[in-house]
Amino acid sequence: MLVDDIEKARDLMQKTYQNDFSTHVPPDAAWFKSILESVWTELQALPQVKKVHEAAADLLAKTVQAKDYVQSRLTYIRDMYEGGEPPL
């Protein structure tokens, strides 16, 4: 539910069911999907779920910033100590 992907949620629920109930044959994936589809809109509207989605978006933005920063530092090191961009 938190990944905002009903297919992933279905798969994870089925795997969790299998592990938690120590069963070799969990219910069919369609059974889990039908349950999720019946409550998906309400679940996605929960404040807790919205908060997690916002946190995930913030984390993604910060990850992109960190990647850009590291790339800029690597470029600086290359330019300062290795003579700049290599010829093609």
Q: What is the pTM of this model?
A: 0.61
Burial label for 32, CB within 10 Å (0-12, 13-18, 19+), is buried
Residue by residue, pLDDT tens for the chain (88 residues) are 666 889 998 998 888 888 777 777 878 899 999 999 999 999 889 999 999 999 999 999 999 999 999 999 999 998 888 887 776 6
